[in-house]
Structure 1
Amino acid sequence: MKTYRKLAASLLLLTAALPVAASAHPPIAAEAAAANFEQDRADILAMAGNYRVSFNMQESTRWDPDYEVLEPKRSGGNEVVRVIEDTGRKIVLQHMLVITGDDDKSMIIKHWRQDWEYEPAKLLVYSDRNAWTWEDVPERMRTGRWSQTVYQVDDSPRYAGWGQFETQGGVRRWRSNWTWRPLARRDAVRAPVYDRYLSINRHQPSPDGWVHWQDNTKMGTKDGKLVPIVQEYVLNTYIKYDQYDVKAADDYWAATKDYWAAVRAEWDRVARAKGGIAINEKADTGTVISGRLLEMADEVQEKSLTTAKAISEAKTLIEMNTRKL
């Protein structure tokens, strides 16, 4: 606990030293917020669709003179994004990767999820390794703004931030505040000298789809202090495309949506009851229960496990593997 408090204090000091003014805009007048609300919603909803996605990752500037910068990495695939909840002030988008094997059969990988909430009072943010805690959004920064909370493949939290839609140079985008986030598996499996990112995220609609641009400062602990190691830029480009087995993704979701709705609800319940989410993670899988939660969804679709039994086991796994904060 002393180690955690010391690290938390370091985080606060580092955050205070960052150029917050660069990400925090003046408060938005209520009239302007109301005028932009429907356009904001339209831009978020427009991220749903069928896409060919490319992931472009490049480390650029090293801040630690002993660090060796990685070569740029590119990957991609076919991804389906669906609106699974829309209450007006909250929109939930589920991503699913569609992979076609050598036998022409499609495999679905439940991918990340993004929840958008209008004028939120608090967010579940990444606070330390294996821990996500509640953080208030400054009251004067709520009007007209949207939060984005990103969840991992098993619906456990990953990171959250708040920001606003703005138009600069003729391009409309949502831009986050400074956001802490845990290592992605692509980095975690290498056991790097850094162990988290400090990031700004941008989501921008385009004529061909949309882009997700990340500015990541990879941070590591040296002599008990968090220090920057290297800068990374990530550009994920979603291009409208449906020349693949889109139906396989929709069939997967139709078969498993009730199970996943219960899983989401259980993570939410635990976060409220325990003051956040504290759960151990593995470099190659995410949370220690991620593999089983995903496996049960496949069994539900295959009808080798009932939805009710899968939900019961999932609730037990989440409850037993999370701790109070």
Structure 2
Amino acid sequence: MRAILIAAALLTTTAPAALAQQAAVPAVATAAPAPANAFERDRQSILAQAGQYRVHFDMRENVSFNADYDPLEEKLSGGSEIVRVVYDHGDRISLQHILVMEHEGQSIVVKHWRQDWVYQPQTVLTYAGPNQWTLTPVPADQRTGAWSQTVWQTDDSPRYGGVGHWTYDNGLSVWTSNATWRPLARRDAVRNPIYDRYLGTNRHALTPAGWVHIQDNVKMSGRNGGEPVAIVQEDVINTYDRSTNFSTKAGDDYWAKTQGFWAAIRDAWDAAIAAGNGVHVAEVGDTGSVTGIPLMTLADKVSSGELTEAAAIAQGRTIIAQATAR
């Protein structure tokens, strides 16, 4: 897991001046046919997030709702990331994010988060509190024309899900979710703060240079056993600017070697979720979930040729089965 640790360090230590020097490729106007209908327009907006990017992460706590809590200072970081289409089944689209970094002349690749989109979903996987995710029905009146977005962690264990609509008003192509519960991000979980979950709203908006992911998070504490209490509000703005200033080869090579393994791991998670109408898996501060290091290590061994894909899949299924057993 050395690659994960190095990449994490790079992501959290990039200075603002360095970020300003990362040149993005200007958007090039191209003549494209107009989408045939609203559904296809939405699909193209989702697929437009695939590509090669310099990413700037801007996180700041703004307003405290607790007299004894002082908001954290703004945190800036950044990195190089590719976003690849895992599958496009029309009404179901999956996008995989992969960090591609350079450190002391060595390429560092880390499989990052994944976003799955489903048109007019019957259910969405939502965070239900510490270590628990639940398949939540989407009411019929909220499904029409809507897309769910489910976000998965580096090892394809669940993170959060929400439902919203793409809109195209005032020159903006933007998807906005409902407010959803979320587990702590690693940046917070490793500090053992007084809050233990977020109530967040997502926006994904296309920009001339790429796209932007905007989060409005209210950090909450549910440790008193009653209704969660608001501690502080946070804005997160993750900007994806198209760039050809780095090589994607290491990331694409990793994905070519491991995508079969990860497809089987996704299927194993889906089976566990379907069997339990949700899933219980222990959260771990620095890796997201208890399955993080074991599954990521198996993928590294497949990539390096140390382990066959079939052997890694068998071990991965066992890891998931044991982690989700109740």
TM-score (norm 1): 0.87
Is 1:106–1:245's contact at 8 Å kept on the other side of the alignment? no
1:254 aligns with 2:256: yes
List structure 1 runs of 4+ shifted beyond 2 angstroms. 167-170, 221-225
User: Which residue does the alignment assign to 2:243?
Assistant: 241
Query: Structure 2 vs 1, CA of residues 282 and 42 (structure 1 numbering), >3 Å: closer, same or farther?
Result: same
Query: What letter matches 2:180 in structure 1?
Result: T
Describe the SS at the equivalent of 1:291. helix
Q: CA deviation at 1:97?
A: 0.2
- Cα distance between partner residues in 1 of 2:123 and 2:175: 18
Query: What letter matches 2:43 in structure 1?
Result: R
User: Which residue does the alignment assign to 1:316?
Assistant: 318
Paired residues, what number? Answer: 290
- Cα distance between partner residues in 2 of 1:323 and 1:228: 32
- Cα distance between partner residues in 2 of 1:47 and 1:294: 24
Q: CA deviation at 1:280?
A: 0.8
- Cα distance between partner residues in 1 of 2:173 and 2:44: 12
Structure 1 gaps of 5+ residues are: 1-33
User: Which residue does the alignment assign to 2:111?
Assistant: 110
Alignment of 1:126-275 (within 5 A): 126-221=127-222, 223=224, 224-275=226-277
Is 2:100–2:109's contact at 8 Å kept on the other side of the alignment? yes
1:292 aligns with 2:294: yes
Structure 2 gaps of 5+ residues are: 1-35
Describe the SS at the equivalent of 1:213. strand
Q: CA RMSD in A?
A: 1.1
User: Which residue does the alignment assign to 1:24?
Assistant: none
- Cα distance between partner residues in 2 of 1:222 and 1:274: 25
1:91 aligns with 2:93: yes
Describe the SS at the equivalent of 2:228. strand
TM-score (norm 2): 0.87
Question: 220-229 or 306-315, which moves further after superposition?
Answer: 220-229
Query: What letter matches 1:78 in structure 2?
Result: S
- Cα distance between partner residues in 2 of 1:233 and 1:196: 15
Q: CA deviation at 1:312?
A: 0.1
Q: CA deviation at 1:125?
A: 0.7
- Cα distance between partner residues in 2 of 1:67 and 1:261: 43
Q: CA deviation at 1:225?
A: 2.9
User: Which residue does the alignment assign to 1:43?
Assistant: 45
- Cα distance between partner residues in 1 of 2:325 and 2:188: 26
- Cα distance between partner residues in 2 of 1:183 and 1:161: 16
Is 1:277–1:323's contact at 8 Å kept on the other side of the alignment? no
Query: What letter matches 1:169 in structure 2?
Result: N
Describe the SS at the equivalent of 1:225. coil
Query: What letter matches 2:66 in structure 1?
Result: D
Q: CA deviation at 1:133?
A: 0.6
Q: CA deviation at 1:167?
A: 2.6
Q: CA deviation at 1:168?
A: 3.5
- Cα distance between partner residues in 2 of 1:35 and 1:306: 45
Task: State the identity %.
Answer: 51
User: Which residue does the alignment assign to 2:63?
Assistant: 61
- Cα distance between partner residues in 1 of 2:218 and 2:231: 7
User: Which residue does the alignment assign to 1:27?
Assistant: none
Q: CA deviation at 1:99?
A: 1.2
Q: CA deviation at 1:101?
A: 1.1
Is 2:45–2:173's contact at 8 Å kept on the other side of the alignment? no
Per-residue deviation, residues 176-232 of structure 1 (Å, max 9, x unmatched): 001111000000011000000001100000110000000000001364331100000
- Cα distance between partner residues in 2 of 1:221 and 1:254: 42
User: Which residue does the alignment assign to 2:79?
Assistant: 77
- Cα distance between partner residues in 2 of 1:251 and 1:141: 40
- Cα distance between partner residues in 1 of 2:173 and 2:283: 36
Is 1:274–1:323's contact at 8 Å kept on the other side of the alignment? no
Q: CA deviation at 1:305?
A: 0.3
1:303 aligns with 2:305: yes
- Cα distance between partner residues in 2 of 1:175 and 1:282: 29
Query: What letter matches 1:197 in structure 2?
Result: Y
Describe the SS at the equivalent of 1:116. strand
Q: CA deviation at 1:66?
A: 1.1
- Cα distance between partner residues in 2 of 1:203 and 1:105: 32
- Cα distance between partner residues in 2 of 1:222 and 1:140: 34
Describe the SS at the equivalent of 2:250. helix
- Cα distance between partner residues in 1 of 2:68 and 2:223: 12
Q: CA deviation at 1:65?
A: 1.3
- Cα distance between partner residues in 2 of 1:105 and 1:314: 28
User: Which residue does the alignment assign to 1:30?
Assistant: none
- Cα distance between partner residues in 1 of 2:210 and 2:169: 19
- Cα distance between partner residues in 1 of 2:288 and 2:114: 14
User: Which residue does the alignment assign to 1:283?
Assistant: 285
